[in-house]
Amino acid sequence: MLFSNQSNQTMLKNVPNPEKKREPQVDNAQFNDQRAPSILLHLDKGAAIALVRNLILCLCDSLLISLGWLTAKWIVISTNFFKSVGSFDLIGSSPEQPGFLFPILAITIGIIAAAGLYSRRDSRRRFLRLISCLTLAQVILIVLAFLYRPGIFLSRSLFILAWIFTVVFVLFGRFLLELAVITVRSKGILTRKIFLIGTPRDTLAAKISLKLISNREFQVVGQIDLSTIEGQKNWPKILEDIQQQDVGEVFVCSWQSIPNPMSFYWNLKTAGINLRVLPVGLELPYQSPQIEMIGRMPTIQFSTPAIMGTDFWLKRGFDLTVAVLLLIFISPILLLIAVLIKLDSPGQIFYKQTRLGLRGRHFKVWKFRTMVINADQLMKELEANNELKGGVLFKMKDDPRITKVGKFLRKYSLDELPQLINVLRGQMSLVGPRPLPLRDVEGFAPHHFARQNVLPGITGLWQVSGRSDIIDFENAFRLDVMYINNWSLLLDFQILWKTVHVVFNRKGAY
């Protein structure tokens, strides 16, 4: 068993009487200890996975950096830009020699590693920092080349082209690698088995967060309810079951409820199982919090709020580019849908409805009409059939107001395509919390208006996490806040990619 002592009281009961002859005892925990002779079978799975992942990432970066320099070298030599002027020497190795890449790779990879871009998952996705590291490496290479051979001519074209190709190749390679990991994990491969410990409410929130943010990276194989007395009495059996299920990490949602937490921690670590503490009840208002220890007290420091400043304009530029390209390519489809709507039922092609946008501003959202003309009047008669809890939103599977063409458009979310016009006008974004009708906003609680701090989106985390299958608005609100607090351009890419998958599978759409 992992636990040999359940509590301090149990430890006192097990103290042998000094007057009696002490019998030799065997600690069963040693068989699950990494310090045992079978250490190779009980290595820390998390550390092993991280080591393999970092080696693969470092190898990919090295290959792409080399490819960038070799491409730049080939262009410079083939065009004979500087053949008549002089040769180039970098730290004793000419580009014509195969060994010239070794110092380049050593310096560049060293700077990337020093910046922490081979560590945690959020650090590996900081592409702006990666560009800065590649630029800094290029500057250092130029300075070293000049100091080592001050009288030699430096091929500026080689450095400029190498920097451009290196940045493009490395960024593209990392993006493809992340996309490949997401695709593989979406099929249930490369999952990490974990165990949840906490109250039912906390473990449910943890399951939702892990499922949405990690792209099925974690597979919950079991959980224990700390609110039951039986759960606290069976620690040895619980911990033994955790190891037998080949669990790599344990997520604790209520650390204060753990009996004898120090012994719990040590038994997990000696068995090669990582421990994570999830502050599920703590709703962080900003993205990228940093934990700093002051003495033995952990403190959380917040960075700049998400989707503000340069983040906003980066997201806005991405929205404009994609929206223009989509409108150009799908214009024949839009025209066909317009004709079908006109033939199916009387009324206008587009439906414009006032909705709540950024900072509570009202705007008209564009959609293809999917309902009969008097749909708004008929909704009052259907309020009793609302299938969403809380009454904030109105959703009904077999809504009699939907037309035949409208049902098809809704099934594949084609009715949302005209909202690309709202994106061009700056009223919406491609990804963000969905803009809600004024009827739904009337049921908002004060904390629900936090979702209006960003531009509403055509799709969002809520839509790719079940869409209409999520029948509790409070859960949908949590997903919107989760997106706002954890925004990144990569997250937008992931949600757009998932949107295509969800739409074609017609999951939760009606």
SS3 72: helix
350 with 486, same domain: the answer is yes
Residue labelled with tokens 């035949």 = 404
146 with 92, same domain: the answer is yes
CA angle 281, 285, 291 (to 5 degrees): 75
**How far, rounded to the nearest angstrom, does the alpha carbon of residue 254 sit from its chain's CA centroid?**
24
For 6-22, give the DSSP string: -SHHHHHHTPPPTTSPP
- The two beta strands, 362-368 and 350-356, are antiparallel
465 with 362, same domain: the answer is yes
CB 367 within 8 A of CB 353: yes
Within a domain: 20: no
Q: For residues 324 and 218, give the distance between their C-alpha atoms in angstroms, rounded to a whole number.
A: 37
Residue labelled with tokens 């501003």 = 361
DSSP, res 366? E
359 with 470, same domain: the answer is yes
Within a domain: 304: no
pLDDT at 340: 93
Using the 3D structure, point to which of 164, 185, 206 is the last residue of a domain.
185
Here the CATH number for the domain that contains residue 216 is 3.40.50.2300
Q: Considering its fold, how many domains does the chain have in total?
A: 3
Within a domain: 495: yes
pTM of the model: 0.49
Phi and psi of 6, rounded to 5°?
-85, -40
Domain that residue 347 falls in: 310-505
Residue labelled with tokens 């088995």 = 193
pLDDT at 319: 94
The dihedral built from the CA positions of residue 104, 105, 111 and 114, taken in this order, carries a sign that is negative
Q: For residues 61 and 112, give the distance between their C-alpha atoms in angstroms, rounded to a whole number.
A: 10
pLDDT at 396: 65
DSSP, res 227? T
Within a domain: 301: no
Look up residue 132 and give its two tokens.
């800065």
258 with 332, same domain: the answer is no
Q: From the first residue on, what is the mean pLDDT of each consecutive set of 10 residues in the chain (510 residues)?
A: 42 44 41 48 56 86 92 80 44 51 89 83 75 90 75 68 92 86 72 76 65 63 70 66 77 74 74 75 59 71 68 90 94 94 89 90 92 74 61 65 88 90 95 88 83 90 69 78 82 88 66
* Cβ neighbours, 10 Å, residue 228: 12
Quick one: which of 292, 286, 427 has its CA closest to 353? 427
Quick one: which of 267, 510, 203 has its CA closest to 387? 510
**How far, rounded to the nearest angstrom, does the alpha carbon of residue 485 sit from its chain's CA centroid?**
11
Phi and psi of 324, rounded to 5°?
-65, -45
Within a domain: 69: yes
Quick one: which of 199, 137, 211, 208 has its CA closest to 170? 137
pLDDT at 248: 76
179 with 204, same domain: the answer is no
Within a domain: 232: yes
Instruction: Give the per-residue SS3 of 257-280.
Output: HCCCHHHHHHHHHHCCCEEEECCC
104 with 209, same domain: the answer is no
Within a domain: 203: yes
For 41-62, give the DSSP string: GS--HHHHHHHHHHHHHHHHHH
Within a domain: 289: no
322 with 460, same domain: the answer is yes
Using the 3D structure, point to which of 282, 298, 323 is the last residue of a domain.
282
pLDDT at 389: 55
* Cβ neighbours, 10 Å, residue 339: 10
CB 232 within 8 A of CB 226: yes
- Helices 156-186 and 489-505 pack at an angle, to 10 degrees, of 40
Residue labelled with tokens 């708004």 = 376
Using the 3D structure, point to which of 282, 302, 330 is the last residue of a domain.
282
462 with 323, same domain: the answer is yes
pLDDT at 26: 37
CB 326 within 8 A of CB 420: yes
141 with 198, same domain: the answer is no
pLDDT at 210: 64
132 with 221, same domain: the answer is no
470 with 497, same domain: the answer is yes
For 286-306, give the DSSP string: SSS-EEEEETTEEEEE--SPT
Question: Which residues contact residue 497 at a Cβ distance below 8 angstroms, ignoring those fewer than 6 apart?
Answer: 179, 182
Sheet strands side by side (includes 249-252): 218-225, 192-198, 249-252, 274-277
CB 350 within 8 A of CB 367: yes
Quick one: which of 103, 82, 97 has its CA closest to 148? 103
